[in-house]
Chains A and B, each alone.
Chain A
Amino acid sequence: DSGVTQTPKHLITATGQRVTLRCSPRSGDLSVYWYQQSLDQGLQFLIHYYNGEERAKGNILERFSAQQFPDLHSELNLSSLELGDSALYFCASSPTDIFNFPGGNEQFFGPGTRLTVL
């Protein structure tokens, strides 16, 4: 158990809908990262937040947005869902970021949320 929690574990929804995935980082970790794992692709970085601020953005679609709240938990919002958005979404956390720790901290991954869009 990494100490990172994600809810829900599974989510089944229809095209065009909007969903929110939630992540609670390990106690004390300030950085939260979101990743997408699709069937035909490896782990893809979506976005990184550090202490409430967006730090880096990857291949995140405009239909997707995220935020990190003052209590450090994070939410990933996916809207106008398409069949291709079906994937495993991971959240990871780390104590700080590369600007504060050379090399970057290792990231601790949550169990993931499996999203199925029908």
Chain B
Amino acid sequence: ILNVEQSPQSLHVQEGDSTNFTCSFPSSNFYALHWYRWETAKSPEALFVMTLNGDEKKKGRISATLNTKEGYSYLYIKGSQPEDSATYLCAFIVSNAGNMLTFGGGTRLMVKP
């Protein structure tokens, strides 16, 4: 059973704060890590697909880094806005598991105006 853990489970920040959260995954047999953003009453939307150790991806104010050797990825949000409020999910693909995404429990971010 693969264990993908995300911390913290939830986070409350003020508008304008920068924040980050962690996704931990098994470092052996790594193939890829995906980040998704899931707003309430909507469907998950892909943010990043990361494959290489040291990968850094950026989309607007959101960025992510990947360390496959130690088994973690960080997601950063710079200058949080209320519209960033959502659950952020990471999902891990093992090299011999086809396209099977194993999701973490998510970090629920709430940004107060």
Number of A residues near B (Cβ < 8 Å) is: 30
CB of A110 within 8 A of chain B? yes
CB-CB contacts of B84-113 with A at 8 A, as 1s and 0s?
000001010100011111111110000000
Using CB atoms, name the residue of chain A closest to B55.
Answer: A103
CB distance from B56 to the nearest CB of A (A): 15
Known A-B contacts A43-B44, A112-B43; A104 and B93 likewise in contact (beta carbons under 8 Å) = yes
**B106 contacts across to A, CB distance below 8 A:** 42
CB distance from A6 to the nearest CB of B (A): 9
CA distance A3 to B44 in the complex (A): 13
State whether A48 touches B98 (Cβ < 8 A): yes
CB distance from B97 to the nearest CB of A (A): 6
Which listed residue, B45, B50, B93, B100, touches A58 by the CB 8 Å rule?
B100
Known A-B contacts A42-B105, A42-B106, A45-B100; A103 and B49 likewise in contact (beta carbons under 8 Å) = yes
Using CB atoms, name the residue of chain B closest to A33.
Answer: B99
State whether A103 touches B50 (Cβ < 8 A): yes
State the B residues within 8 Å of A (CB): 31-32, 34, 42-46, 49-51, 89, 91, 93, 97-106
